[in-house]
């Protein structure tokens, strides 16, 4: 995939309307109050928004928020699959869930951060959005309603994309700055580029330069740290990184599948039986490629999956029945931290253990600390790793923390990202 894409600085936006796809999928308080509990995704969009407004553009921002079902029938089906009684699922309840995912809190917070009014539309491409977009002047900003309120959004519906593009007018521009959504070929993330010249905002430009650069021409040695629960979710990443990395470190729940594949006893630990053969293939491929594949040599085990579980340290592959591995052990911590000391580039995706339990967060904390002390380029691939680094206060010590967990994973797999592929090449 070509990572060299045109940016907002390569197009003239003065006096034009710009349809700007942001990632405002922010966490909201669970009490339905609409309070935003973390606004960093809104803050991440500010440089692009401020630049566009300063250049005299009229900005029509849009984003999804949560996972609203755009039709009552689909909502009922999804809730029924979750075990809810269909008899209790009323149209009134569906409308309530939609109301809780409206963009009012986002518009309010964005306005506070920009220090100016953000005009909010009542719909996405309906009469209110159309009228407000038509009246929008240079230097003003409006926000459309949740793009997923439209049935065609997640289906990549061309008609919806065409209507969204029409809001910006015949000489409009599309700017993509929602890295967290570029791996999806949705109407507002990719298809709209069929109807407007499309360029990246500063956020996507930074992600492409840093992650793309680390994959295409890394400062060596390149060390990849992969954690998380399942081998199956990281197959493509491991496979792709075996072609370019010097060292791959495996932690988290997926390490037990590797251990079991090599004849180890894993007790009640997370295990994907179907992926044992694949794990052995990866070990063999690493040998053939001359890549160091580091697996845990010891593990912290618990007698139950709980924060207050009894725990002990055992050698990898020697977990007794009734016990399960929840973190890497002290010898493994030392091995992994030593591996990043002299690295040129480190990419980290996925925790080393059950990070949400303090007792089993030791491995993840140690890796985060080691990365904060190395002189290497350090790239955190979103998701739980990003949360860990931020919670531990090491965020400002990292070179780059990706804003998209799923997108950065697919990026590291070498997959084409629809929301990037659709942008004009530089």
pLDDT tens track for 125-147: 999 999 999 999 999 999 999 99
Tell me which of 93-102, 116-125, 176-185, 346-355 is least confident. Answer: 93-102
Q: Residue 331's pLDDT is what?
A: 98
Q: Residue 92's pLDDT is what?
A: 85
Tell me the chain's radius of gyration from C-alpha atoms.
23
Residue 28 is given by DSSP the state: B
Q: What are the phi and psi torsion angles at 425 (to 5°)?
A: -70, 145
- Average pLDDT for 316-332: 98
Residue 30 has pLDDT above 90, yes or no: no
| HSE-CB for 331 with a 13 A CA cutoff | 10
Q: Residue 366's pLDDT is what?
A: 95
- Please count the residues of the chain: 426
Residues annotated as catalytic are 41, 230, 383, 406
Phi-psi group of 213: left, alpha or beta (phi > 0 → left; psi -120 to 50 → alpha; rest → beta) = alpha
Q: Residue 234's pLDDT is what?
A: 87
Query: What is the four-CA torsion angle of 18, 19, 20, 24, rounded to 10 degrees?
Result: 140
State CA 398 to chain mean position distance.
17
Percent of the chain with pLDDT over 90: 78
Higher pLDDT, 105 or 383: 105
Q: If pLDDT is split at 50, 70 and 90, which confidence band does 386 have?
A: confident
């Amino acid at each position: 995939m070509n990572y060299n894409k045109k940016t907002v600085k390569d197009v003239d936006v003065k006096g034009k309307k710009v349809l700007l796809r942001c990632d405002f999928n922010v966490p909201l308080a669970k009490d339905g109050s609409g309070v935003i509990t973390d606004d960093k995704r809104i803050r991440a969009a500010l440089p692009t928004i401020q630049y566009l407004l300063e250049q005299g553009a009229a900005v029509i921002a849009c984003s999804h928020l949560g996972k609203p079902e755009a039709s009552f029938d689909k909502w009922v089906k999804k809730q029924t699959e979750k075990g809810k009684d269909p008899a209790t699922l009323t149209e009134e309840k569906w409308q309530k869930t939609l109301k809780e995912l409206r963009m009012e809190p986002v518009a309010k917070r964005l306005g506070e951060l920009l220090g100016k009014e953000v005009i909010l539309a009542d719909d996405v491409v309906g009469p209110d959005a159309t009228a407000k977009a038509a009246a929008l002047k240079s230097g003003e900003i409006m926000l459309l309603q949740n793009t997923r309120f439209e049935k065609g959004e997640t289906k990549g519906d061309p008609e919806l994309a065409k209507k969204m593009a029409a809001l910006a007018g015949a000489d409009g521009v599309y700017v993509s700055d929602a890295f967290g959504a570029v791996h999806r070929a949705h109407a507002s993330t990719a298809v709209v580029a069929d109807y407007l010249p499309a360029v990246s905002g500063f956020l996507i430009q930074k992600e492409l330069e840093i992650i793309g650069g680390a994959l295409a021409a890394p400062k060596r040695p390149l060390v990849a740290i992969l954690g998380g629960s399942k081998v199956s979710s990281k197959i493509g990443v491991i496979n792709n990184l075996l072609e370019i990395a010097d060292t791959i470190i495996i932690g988290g729940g997926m390490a037990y599948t590797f251990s079991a594949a090599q004849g180890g006893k894993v007790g009640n630990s997370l295990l994907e039986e179907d992926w044992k053969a694949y794990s052995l293939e990866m070990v063999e491929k690493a040998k053939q490629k001359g890549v160091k594949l580091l697996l845990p040599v010891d593990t912290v085990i618990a007698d139950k999956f709980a924060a207050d579980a009894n725990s002990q340290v055992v050698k990898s592959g020697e977990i007794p029945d009734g016990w399960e591995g929840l973190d890497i052990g002290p010898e493994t911590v030392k091995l992994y931290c030593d591996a990043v000391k002299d690295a040129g580039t480190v990419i980290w995706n996925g925790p080393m253990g059950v990070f949400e339990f303090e007792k089993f967060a030791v491995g993840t904390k140690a890796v985060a600390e080691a990365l904060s002390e190395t002189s290497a380029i350090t790239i955190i691939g979103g998701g739980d790793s990003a949360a860990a680094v931020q919670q531990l206060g090491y965020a400002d010590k990292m070179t780059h923390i990706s804003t998209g967990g799923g997108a950065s994973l697919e990026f590291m797999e070498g997959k084409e990202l629809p929301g990037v592929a659709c942008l004009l090449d530089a």
